Each structure stands twice: as C-alpha cells, then as structure tokens.
Structure 1
Amino acid sequence: MKLDRHDLALLRALQRNARASLQELSAEVGLSSSPCWARIKRMEEAGVIEGYTIKVNAELVGVPDQLIVQLTLDSHSEDALEAFGRQLEAIPEVLEAYLVSGDYDYVLRLAVKGTRDYERLLREQLYKIPGIRHSKSSFVLRRLKSGNLAL
C-alpha cells in the first residue's frame, strides 16, 4: 500500500493520541472528516494500522520490574521454533519475543513483580519449555527511550 503525506500525518497523529476524535484528526491533517475516516479505514483493512492500545503503568499494576532475556535453543527446526513460540505466547509475563540473529536465538522482554517472581517464572514456566540450551537475563534498571515508528 502506498502512503501519501496525509496518510503519514494521520498515522503520526494516531500514534500520539489514538483516542483523538475524527474532527481533531481532520483538523490536524488538513482533510475533512469523510476522507479522513476513509483513509483510516483503508489503512486498517490493509493492515497498516494493526490495532489501538493503551499504555499501562507497570509499577501501578504490580509488575514494576522488567527483564531482557536472551535464549538459545537446542534445535532450530521449523517445528521446534513453532512449538517454542506457542509456549511463549501462553506465558503472560512475556511482553515481547523476538527471533533474532547473533549469539542467541530469542530475545524476550518480561514484566515481573521482582526477583522472587522471576525465579518462580523460570522454575515453573520458562525452564519447563523443552529445548532451551542457554539463557542470559538482565534486569532493566531504567527505560531510556520508548516510542513509535518515526514517520
């Protein structure tokens, strides 16, 4: 899908405030409401806009600590990768999971209540997944940057 300057302006506006009214969006991008709505629907249908979310303060909901976990698997077969991915999806503490190149196969971002909660997660869930050969964990001390795509 080819995006023009109005589409990109709409995406930037929605990234800043996904709850903006159609009138606010229209005024910001210089289009009337109808074409603005049509562009948003077109981008949703094409998969450019994947959904609308909220940001949750992890500390205020009881999971203040985040970790970056790097994992290496024993097998790299398609079946092993698929099975591993399915098992990661079932663990609510796993916020993001990436299959990556380099020394490790996966990089995960997790949210936990603290070190004891992370130990529980390792013993009861993560290390019960077959095929993990090696892992390396790092607690996030401070988030320096978080954002959306630069459009």
Structure 2
Amino acid sequence: MPVRIDDTDRKILAALQRDASRSLDEIAAEVGSSKTPVWNRIRKLREAGIIGQTTVILDAEALGFEACFFVLIRTSEHDADWQKRFLAALKSRPEVQEAHRLAGDIDYILKVRVANARAYDTFYQALISEVKVHNVTALLSMEEIKSTAALPL
C-alpha cells in the first residue's frame, strides 16, 4: 500500500532533492516547519522506502570520464539463462551507469561512462566476450544538456 504524502512531505522531498547535505535546520526553515517534525517526516519517508540511499554527485569530466556512450543492444536470446548472465555482466561493470530493458526494436539501452573511445572499446570487447548479442550500436553523447535524478514533485 503506497504511503500518503502531503504538501509538507513534497516540500521536504524537493528540498532534499536540491541538496540533501544541508542541515535539518536549513531544510526545516525552507519548508516552514521546525526541526523535529521535519526529522520525523524524513524518518517516515525513509522507512516507507520513498527516500533511498543518500549519495553525492561527482563531476565525471573532472575525474577523467570524458566520454558518455548510449549503447543500444538487440539480442536474439531471450531465455532466462542468457538474461541472468547479461544482468551479471552489467552489474559487474562500474562503467554502466544505467541499464534499461525496452519495448520496441531495441532490447536494452545502457548509459556507459568511460575516459575515451579506447576505454569504451575495452568495455565493449569484454561485454561481448561474456554474452552473445545480435547487434550493438554505440552513440557518443556530444554534450550533456540536462541530467537530473530529481522527480517532478
């Protein structure tokens, strides 16, 4: 059963999405409440699974990961064993930031962050040595225009 959230919860969630590193006092002031009720609401939202892990966003380019590829994968394999091996291969590779199974002509799309094209090729060669794929198309992102994990509350 989904947890009911009200306008104050939405304000708290929006504030946390903008910057979760701020103090509880700052968040409480922003949402127009006091510290204890905000803390209790955050705890309730965590227990309900609405708030997941808290992390930081790193600057990929500043750390030398200058290439972002979107990898489109088509496969003729759809059995459970292949899917298990494919998912294990993806989960074992830190270059894969996102992986989605799709409806339509493309079976999977991956977001892969690497230093350069040579590093992508190393990733690609390792992946296809572990699992058989019918077709792989890699698209290099020329510019990141928008990237956010924030939900439109």
Q: What TM-score, normalized by structure 1, do the two folds share? A: 0.94
Aligned partner of 1:37 among 39, 60, 67: 39
- Is 1:134 aligned with 2:135? yes
Q: What TM-score, normalized by structure 2, do the two folds share? A: 0.93
Shift of 1:94: 0.6
Q: Bigger shift: 132-141 or 74-83? A: 74-83
* RMSD (Å) for aligned C-alpha atoms: 1.2
Aligned partner of 1:112 among 79, 94, 114: 114
State the partner residue of 1:2.
4
Q: Percent identity?
A: 34
Q: Deviations over 1:109-147 (max 9, x none)?
A: 011111111111111x21112231111110000011112
Shift of 1:62: 1.3
> Is the 8 Å Cα contact of residues 71 and 110 (structure 2) preserved in structure 1?
yes
The equivalences for 1:88-99 within 5 A come to 88-99=90-101
State the partner residue of 2:67.
65
CA–CA separation in structure 1 for the residues paired with 2:84 and 2:49: 23
> Is the 8 Å Cα contact of residues 82 and 131 (structure 2) preserved in structure 1?
no
State the partner residue of 2:147.
146
Letter in 2 for 1:55: I
Return 5+ residue gaps in structure 1 as ranges: none
State the partner residue of 1:121.
123
> Is the 8 Å Cα contact of residues 85 and 131 (structure 2) preserved in structure 1?
no
Letter in 1 for 2:99: A
> Is the 8 Å Cα contact of residues 100 and 110 (structure 2) preserved in structure 1?
yes
CA–CA separation in structure 2 for the residues paired with 1:90 and 1:30: 44
CA–CA separation in structure 1 for the residues paired with 2:20 and 2:10: 14
Q: Deviations over 1:16-55 (max 9, x none)?
A: 0110111011111112111100110111111101111211
State the partner residue of 2:57.
55
Runs of 4+ in 1 over 4 A off after TM superposition: none
Q: Deviations over 1:64-88 (max 9, x none)?
A: 1100001112222334323311210
